[in-house]
Amino acid sequence: MNKNLLKVVSLSLVASMGFLMAGCADTTAETAAEGEFTTVTPGVLTMATNAYFPPYEFYEGSDITGIDAEIAQAVADKLGLELVIEDVEFDSIIAGVQSGKYDIGCAGMTVTEERLQSVNFTTPYATGIQSIIVAEGSDITDLDTLIESGCMVGVQSGTTGDLYMTDEVGEERMDRYNKGNDAILALLNGVVGAVVIDNQPAQSFVDANPGLVILETPYTVEDYAMAVNKDNEALLEAINQALAELTADGTIDSIIETYIPSEEV
């Protein structure tokens, strides 16, 4: 557990250093929008997400909304671009950004060493916590008892919960699902003994499904950032500049507050 937390902290420091370097550049969101970067479709910022991760991304009718969607829209507005959101499987997002199919991946995505081999990441814009969900009355009370229990663990495929738990319990005890709510259904049906997922989606799932609880001890804390193609440094710099401006003027805090009121943090 400690090595995972240290890894996340180290990566956050690397991302922060990248932000400082980008801040020293002579590029602003405005000048970048005039042609210094390219996008998959001219005039459009194409965002890949998996829209089953409330409150970061979810469907409201036929529209995708949430923290990530609103922050991406604010960034697109800063860059003078139209935002188009593509709903795809989570574990296909990095490959899609790497191949140039999407401009950004924005899906409650944590910076990891493995992902950094394929894409760049912007400065972090939000913080998440990995949490463990179990049935009420479960003998699983913390990470140690989960590891010792021998039960199957449900995760959303390709997420950091997947990566961390595979390291903790081994491949043979992992049960992966394309959507977080499918993992929750498996827990309700007794197919898995626990689900490991980010805390805010976890809270939404528990609120909607009586009989489930989140263990009090968080698994690990991590930062969320946007994935960008390694060959598009100009777009990375422009987005970092936009995020800096949106942080400075309070826009990002306001968006997060709308979905996660301060008293819940």
Indicate the range of 10-19, 38-47, 88-97, 206-215 predicted with least confidence: 10-19
Alpha-carbon span 46 to 84, nearest angstrom: 5
Give the ranges where 45-137 is alpha helix by DSSP (H). 67-79, 93-99, 113-116
Task: Identify the CA nearest to 112 among candidates 204, 210, 220, 4.
Answer: 4
Of 22 and 73, more confident: 73
Alpha-carbon span 120 to 246, nearest angstrom: 20
String of b and e for 82-99 (b: at least 16 CB within 10 Å)? ebbbbebebebbbbbbbe
pLDDT, tens only, 250-260: 999 999 999 88
Residues of the chain with CATH 3.40.190.10: 2-125+225-264, 128-221
Angle at 199 between CA 257 and CA 112, to 5 degrees: 100
pLDDT at 32 over 80: no
pLDDT of residue 29: 41
pLDDT of residue 200: 85
Angle at 191 between CA 190 and CA 192, to 5 degrees: 90
pLDDT band at 263 (very low <50, low <70, confident <90, very high): low
pLDDT of residue 262: 64
Residue 172 gets which letter from DSSP? G
Does domain 2-125+225-264 bear CATH number 3.40.50.620?
no
Q: In terms of DSSP bridges, do strands 174-177 and 104-105 run parallel, antiparallel, or are they unpaired?
A: unpaired
Is this model's pTM higher than 0.85 or not?
no
Alpha-carbon span 54 to 216, nearest angstrom: 20
pLDDT of residue 21: 39
pLDDT of residue 219: 74
pLDDT at 7 over 70: no
Q: Scanning the structure block, which residue is given the tokens 């991760």? A: 53
With contact defined as beta carbons under 8 Å apart, do 144 and 168 qualify? no
Alpha-carbon span 229 to 226, nearest angstrom: 10
pLDDT, tens only, 135-174: 999 999 999 999 999 999 999 998 888 988 999 999 999 9
Neighbouring CB atoms inside 10 A of 206's CB total: 17
pLDDT of residue 258: 93
The H or E element spanning position 143 is helix 143-149
pLDDT of residue 165: 93
Does domain 128-221 bear CATH number 3.40.50.2300?
no
pLDDT band at 27 (very low <50, low <70, confident <90, very high): very low
Task: Identify the CA nearest to 222 among candidates 113, 111, 133, 118.
Answer: 111
